[in-house]
Amino acid sequence: MAALQRLPRPDPPSARYLSRTRRELPRWAARTVLGPVVSGVRLEDVGVPAADGTTLRVRLYRSGPPAARPRALVVNFHGGGFVFGNLTASDWLCGNLAGRAQVVVASVDYRLAPEHPAPVPFQDSWAATRWLIAHADELGADPARVSVMGESAGGNLAALVALASRDETRRDPTWPVLQRQILLYPATDLSLASPSVGELPDAPMLRRSTLDWYGRLYLPQDRPDSIRADDPRVSPLHHHDHGDLPPALVVAAGQDPIRDDAYRYADALRAAGVPVELSTHPDAIHGFVSIPLFEAAAHLALDQVVAAVLSTPAR
């Protein structure tokens, strides 16, 4: 964590800097540093088309022999402030969820800022989700049993995809209703208006200065198509309508500067009649699910995610 906090934040970052800091660990090293994946889980990377024709990488996690009945599908979006993050960093969460819950997990490698600022990461996430649902049968998955999941920035994208999917169902009743949204310490208000941002400016793993840096790269204000931080296209908390959304598991970290983003979004969902399970791990830091070898709370959170996926939504 100390090394991460000393990492320079050049503004703007060079292509070389971004390439080096985004580099994925070799799989064996990732298992050693980030935690092992339960045996029997198969990983496969496939190409999925984005809206503009770009091919996105999606990693599939499947366990055991082909099932007689299609399995539920969980679409995951990794964290990293919309600037960093990669598929390998999510292997522990996604692989163990696939093995323990016997579901298909699909983790989306959406494009990142500053090369691809908002709303490109959301557009990629939504396009990948639509493709995965349309091709669920080919993946051994059930298009009628789909959930979305994400950590931090990925939690933001999962919430936005849930909103987009809700709107699609309203337009087209044949579009499948999502079963769940699983939001792990999600960034739901990019205007940084949550009180915890001011309370924890020097928190481990995520400082206020880092949040500001991410914001400048993801939401550049020197473009004619600039998006404000409180725009509902990037901040799901500011959406005017949270009704008819899938039941939510919202997991918060007590020592996280965006802890209150989770609390406030859970409140907004409840106010709209959405079933919400809110869980706080008081001593955990931001990103704790990504470091299970160092944060015991990661294992408790995984238990909660598995239980949520296995349970029948109360709709």
Query: Of residues 124, 256, 260, 261, which has the active-site annotation?
Result: 256
The beta strand positions in the chain, using DSSP E, are 41-49, 55-63, 71-77, 104-109, 141-151, 180-184, 248-255, 276-285
Q: Is 140 exposed, middle or buried (0-12, 13-18, 19+ CB in 10 A)?
A: middle
Q: Is 256 a catalytic residue?
A: yes
Q: How far apart are CA 52 and CA 136, in angstroms?
A: 22
Q: Is 261 a catalytic residue?
A: no
Residue that is written with structure tokens 């091709």 in the block:
135
Three-class DSSP category at 61 = strand
Q: Which two tokens stand for residue 43?
A: 């990983």
DSSP bridge partners of 64: none
- The DSSP element (H or E) to which 127 belongs, if any, is helix 120-134
Question: Can you give the length of the chain in residues?
Answer: 315
Sign of the alpha-carbon dihedral angle for 115, 165, 274, 230 = positive
Q: Is 240 a catalytic residue?
A: no
Active site residues: 152, 256, 286
